[in-house]
Structure 1
Amino acid sequence: MSIGIFDSGIGGLTVFKEISREFPQADIYYLGDTARVPYGNKSKETVIRYSIEAANYLRSFGIDALIIACNTASSYALDTLKESLDIPVIGVVEPGVETALRYTENKKVGVIGTSATIRSNSYRFLLEKENIEVFQKACPLFVPLVEEGIVDGEIAELIIKEYLEELVKKGIDTLILGCTHYPLLKKTIEKIYPHLKIVDSSQAITDFLHRENLYFEGTGKRKIYITDESENFERFKNILVGDNIPLEKIELSKLCTL
């Protein structure tokens, strides 16, 4: 049994890491669309097209389930992929919301994400159905920070405070990291705001898979593909999942024609 995971770049490796740990026997194929990162500033139509291309590429490996490890793609393309594919398709939004509902005590939840994710109101819609007061903030500088490896230190702390101070003043007790890049900033966020309960998409996804009784057995194969060479991607890949899984660059034309 095998799992396909795609994201616009580095962030989805946090999901890849957690799923690899929780399902060691599963065959896991990861695609990072590094040539076209970020997705968060793209139109809905473009994100859907990119997502279809990524999904079709991963389908060529005979995957049994697809995980959209990108909040923007989950917000815009989940329904399209569910309709067009005959395998389970899992986004990050619903698992993140379920975790936040378990965490929050005062029913005030903050959501941060790319501009596209926040515009989609995908988190707000599900949370408000449960009578949660939602405070959202687009954090467009977080993805380039992570992609450049600036996840701690003075610059990262200043930008985090600039974005999050407003939400914290609203009294939130739980913060959803609505982008899979953001868990790489999690330690710095916790350092600045230790009282917040942080919802990490990578952990929320694995919890969701267990609750849905989705179990995968295979040979434990691990493959990571990217659409453009990236030193930062390789560095974080080595930090997060080790250097024993080589990167393989695929031609973007191959991805787009499948």
Structure 2
Amino acid sequence: MRIGFFDSGIGGLTVLAEALRRHPDKDFLYMADTLHVPYGTKSKEDVKGYILEAVGTMMNEGIDALVVACNTATSIAITELRERYSLPIVGMEPAVKPAVEMNSATGKRVLVFATPLTLQLPKYYALVSRVDDTGIVDSLPLPELVHYCESLQFDKQIMNEYFRAKLAGYELNDYGIIVLGCTHYPFYKDILRELLPDHIAIVDGNVGTVKRLSALLSRYGIARGGGSGNVQFMCTGNEPGYIDKMQTALAYLREKDNLTETEPF
């Protein structure tokens, strides 16, 4: 039993880390589209082609289920992937709905961090329109953050300066929740937690995504077991150095245990 995880780079490792914690009896294939990372600044048409080609390679390698561990890729290609393949496929979307529900009674606003492309896509606007009846959701594009993450730039001083500059125009007392709307962003959860006021919660969609995966595996009758938590890494650029980077990044996540918040987002 092997579950495939796909992302443009190392961001989806934040979802994989959660899956490893909840499904240690499965094996995993992780594919990073290193030829084309980051997706957030590219055209929708180009990105769809990249995704379909990379997932086709994963299918040839042999997977029993697929997690599209990227909000942008989900928005662009999830429908076509489900039309092409009959195996369980789980996508992601920014955790806007639970954030709005949590904040509805507080009078506080919700701030969504995401890539520029995610924020431009109709699926994102449809999501916000569907769940944000009172107009409390604001969106902040953070195009540079994927580059920082891909460079394994986790220096606290550098990242504090970056986030302070991006948030300079926002009155943080008005906000109750920040949504991390890109799978790369949870790498910075600890840094953000120290930087932000205590009353602001930080949420992402990783736990909810893995719960949906668990439910879908059960629905498809896929038995427990069949693996031992082994992870095989691949990348479209065939770069040995990037394989090492992914291994380092996953070890960083598991050591830091950045995904300790287990609320059902």
- Shared fold, TM over 0.5: yes
Structure 1 residues 138 and 83: alpha-carbon distance in aligned structure 2, compared to 1, 3 A threshold: same
SS at match of 1:6: strand
* Equivalent position SS for 1:60: helix
After superposition, the Cα gap between the structure-2 partners of 1:167 and 1:112, relative to the gap in structure 1 and judged at 3 Å, is farther
Give the aligned partner of residue 205 of structure 2: 201
Which residue of the partner structure matches residue 238 of structure 1? 251
- Is the aligned partner of 1:179 residue 2:182? yes
Give distance in 2, aligned partners of 1:163 and 1:211.
37
User: 3-state SS of the aligned residue for 1:185?
Assistant: helix
TM-score, normalised to structure 1's length? Answer: 0.83
**CA deviation digits over 1:114-154, x for unaligned, max 9?**
11111115334223312252201110111111122222422
Matches within 5 A, 1:46-195: 46-93=46-93, 96-105=95-104, 106=107, 108-130=109-131, 131=133, 133-169=136-172, 171-193=174-196, 194-195=198-199
Aligned counterparts of 2:108 and 2:127: Cα–Cα separation in 1 = 13
Of residues 126-135 and 182-191 in structure 1, the stretch that sits farther from structure 2 once superposed is 126-135
The TM-score, its normalising length taken from structure 2, stands at 0.81
SS of 1:125's equivalent in the other structure is helix
Q: Say if 1:154 and 1:241 are closer, same or farther in 2 by CA, change over 3 A.
A: closer
Stretches of structure 2 that go unaligned for 5 or more consecutive residues are 256-265
SS in 1 for 2:208: helix
Alignment of 1:207-226 (within 5 A): 207-210=211-214, 214=218, 216-220=224-228, 221-226=230-235
| Letter in structure 1 aligned against 2:112 | V
Q: How far did 1:180 drift?
A: 0.8
* Unmatched tracts of structure 1, length 5 or more: 243-258
Q: Which letter does structure 2 place at the counterpart of 1:104?
A: N
Kindly report structure 1 stretches of 4+ aligned residues shifted beyond 6 Å: none
C-alpha deviation, 1:3, in angstroms = 1.3
Across the two proteins, how many residue pairs are aligned to each other? Answer: 241
Percent sequence identity is: 33
Amino acid at match of 1:103: M
Could you report, residue by residue, the CA deviation over 1:153-198 in whole angstroms, capped at 9, with x for unpaired residues? 2221111122234455482212111111100111111111132221
Q: How many Å apart are 1:211 and its aligned residue?
A: 5.5
